[in-house]
Amino acid sequence: MSETSSQVATRLLPRWTQPPRDLEARVPGSKSLTNRALILAAVARGRSVLTGALDSDDTRVMRRALDRLGVSVRAADGGSTLTVDGCSGRFPRETAELECGNSGTSLRFLAAMLAAAGRGPYRLDGNPRMRQRPAADLIQALNGLGAFASSELGTGYPPLLIRVEEPGLDGGFAFVKGDVSSQFLSALLMALPLAKGPSSIEVEGDLVSKPYVTMTMKMMEHFGVIISNRDFKRFNIRPSAYTAAHCAIEPDASAASYFWALAAISGGSVRVVGLDDASVQGDVAFVQVLEHMGCRVDRNARGIQVAGGPLRGVDVDMNAISDTVMTLAVVALFAEGPTRIRRVGHIRHKETDRIAALATELRKFGAEAIAHPDGLTILPPSDPAQLVPARVSTYDDHRMAMAFALTSARLEGVIIEDPGCVAKTYPGFWEDFEALRLQAQASRE
């Protein structure tokens, strides 16, 4: 039961006969931190070493792209230690075709960095879904700062073409929309210190996923560049050089959400090792939502533990932690009363339209689900015994697969289609999930 290849069409999940009790889970490194560290190390002066890095489809996209741009990234320890020889702000290859799969961070961060640290033409493409994920706001901002960026098909979506005239991006002033994806802003912030002159970026509309912008600024600081911002509205960036750094990547908090939710649904307890409230990842706040639903949360030096109890539905704004919406929606199936998830309309632009996908799949289990423009209401049956196992479509979305796997904590016979899609951010998910189930079972025998 260790298939993660996409050739495996389905995975039948055994029901957990015992809840996990006082078990520990270790999750791989953060995708968002790994891809930021990689791109910043690539343009820094000197050799950087990243430890605890994530080795998955999304980080391989970034590594391959940097390789094509002439930056050496050497992997050791199964891909978790990466040594990057920085190019001091100038990519060695002046033109390249870069394939970004469905990695939003890779495509958007690279697009801006190419304008600042390259010459071009560069072409960035992705899989069919990536060709439906917005990029127009980023293109527009880059062009306002002196780049020649365009959508090849004129759609505002990838493939993107990027070039700049010698000697590089001008800087200056640009607006960027904040209500579609924070990745546009993060991409510009990381690239603009390499522009010729100072720059200011003003965010238009409500900025989504704010903790990721804080993460961007913290990582920039780690590589030696400090920028100023007022209320996440206006950012001022002075020309500066990145310097190589040692970077210990935290475990991925979005991946951790599946194990915390497992404890919530099963009534057991799981500690995810290596995360605490001081994490730079906003998604650690997911445990607070579980606390509101009735779980107990214990934070100590080893990590954060969630212990499940009777669950009640919640009304929650998940704008800042929207990668955990799928996890919460599945927890809500097992709670008493409705759960309303608000201010996450932007998740329609991710690996799939996540609001539509969730509503469809939740209904298969016997819940009512209402899709709203900004989120979702989940109305579980009044008696959890009325929930039925289902065959879950995953829409090539790793988070749909991992979140719905949690239903097997309480239901026999759940089937997950295309389980290999977890490789986007967590290739070893099924092995880790099954190992924990066996541990739970063994602890009661």
Ligand X SMILES: O=C(O)C1=C[C@@H](OP(=O)(O)O)[C@@H](O)[C@H](O)C1
Ligand Y SMILES: C=C(OP(=O)(O)O)C(=O)O
Note the residues at the interface with ligand Y (CB under 6 A): 102-105, 323, 350, 399, 425
Contact between residue 128 and residue 86 where contact means Cβ atoms under 8 Å apart: no
Number of residues forming the site for ligand X (CB under 6 A): 12
The least distance separating ligand X from the CB of residue 380, rounded to whole angstroms, comes to 26
Contact between residue 29 and residue 102 where contact means Cβ atoms under 8 Å apart: no
| Residue 59 interaction partner, one of ligand X, ligand Y, none, beta carbon < 5-8 Å per kind | none
Residue the block writes with tokens 């996923």: 209
> Does residue 252 belong to the site contacting ligand X (CB under 6 A)?
no
Q: How many angstroms from the chain centroid is the CA of residue 384?
A: 31
- Rounded Cα gap, residues 51 and 248, in angstroms: 5
Q: Is 350 annotated as a binding residue?
A: yes
- What does the per-residue mask of binding to ligand X show for 139-178, with x meaning CB under 6 A? ----------------------------------------
In this complex, which beta carbon is closest to ligand X, that of residue 99 or of residue 397? Answer: 397
Residue of 252, 323, 396, 397 marked catalytic: 323
The least distance separating ligand Y from the CB of residue 103, rounded to whole angstroms, comes to 5
Q: Is 31 annotated as a binding residue?
A: yes
Q: How many angstroms from the chain centroid is the CA of residue 208?
A: 13
> Does residue 181 belong to the site contacting ligand X (CB under 6 A)?
yes
Q: Is 209 annotated as a binding residue?
A: yes
| Residue 346 interaction partner, one of ligand Y, ligand X, none, beta carbon < 5-8 Å per kind | ligand X
> Does residue 102 belong to the site contacting ligand X (CB under 6 A)?
no
> Does residue 105 belong to the site contacting ligand X (CB under 6 A)?
yes
Give 104's Cβ-side CA count (13 Å radius): 22
> Does residue 352 belong to the site contacting ligand X (CB under 6 A)?
no
The least distance separating ligand X from the CB of residue 217, rounded to whole angstroms, comes to 12
> Does residue 183 belong to the site contacting ligand X (CB under 6 A)?
yes
Contact between residue 132 and residue 122 where contact means Cβ atoms under 8 Å apart: no
323 is catalytic: yes
Q: For 101-117, give one letter per residue: b (16+ CB within 10 A) or e.
A: bbbbbbbbbbbbbbbbb
What separation in angstroms does the CA of 339 have from each of 28, 116, 271, 317?
Answer: 29, 44, 25, 11
Helix, strand, coil percentages, rounded to 5, for the chain: 40, 25, 40
Q: How many angstroms from the chain centroid is the CA of residue 426?
A: 11
List active site positions.
Answer: 323
Annotated binding site for 3-phosphoshikimate: 31-32, 36, 181-183, 209, 323, 350
Site of interaction with ligand X (CB under 6 A): 32, 105, 181-183, 186, 208-209, 212, 322-323, 346
